[in-house]
Amino acid sequence: MTQITNAALIAACSCIGAGLAVIAGIGPGVGQGIAAGYGASAVGRNPGARGDITSTMLLGQAVAETTGLYGLVVALILLYANPMLSKFM
């Protein structure tokens, strides 16, 4: 039976962590869909306020998207620039 080295264990755990970090993209996707739906509904009820509703909705979606981007950055760091891997090689 072959033994698992420290570097292989860290690499495997980093891949699992990267997969979990990418799951963070689900929340912003759902939130942006809900915001767009409510924005479209609000414009349908009050077409005169379209500019204000659209700008507020887009600002909220931009803020919500940062969570997904942070998850992507964490995943990329774990996969390609893993700081723990260099300590055990």
Q: What are the per-10-residue average pLDDT scores of the chain (89 residues)?
A: 83 90 87 89 91 89 88 91 73
pLDDT for position 20 = 92
79 neighbors 18 (Cβ within 8 angstroms): yes
Q: Is-above-0.85 flag for pTM?
A: no
For the chain, the domains span: 6-82
pLDDT for position 70 = 92
61 neighbors 35 (Cβ within 8 angstroms): yes
CATH superfamily, with its number, for domain 6-82: F1F0 ATP synthase subunit C (1.20.20.10)
The residue behind tokens 């940062």 is: 66
Q: Cα 84 to the chain's mean position, in Å? A: 22
d(CA 87, CA 83): 7
Sign of CA dihedral 62, 65, 69, 70: positive
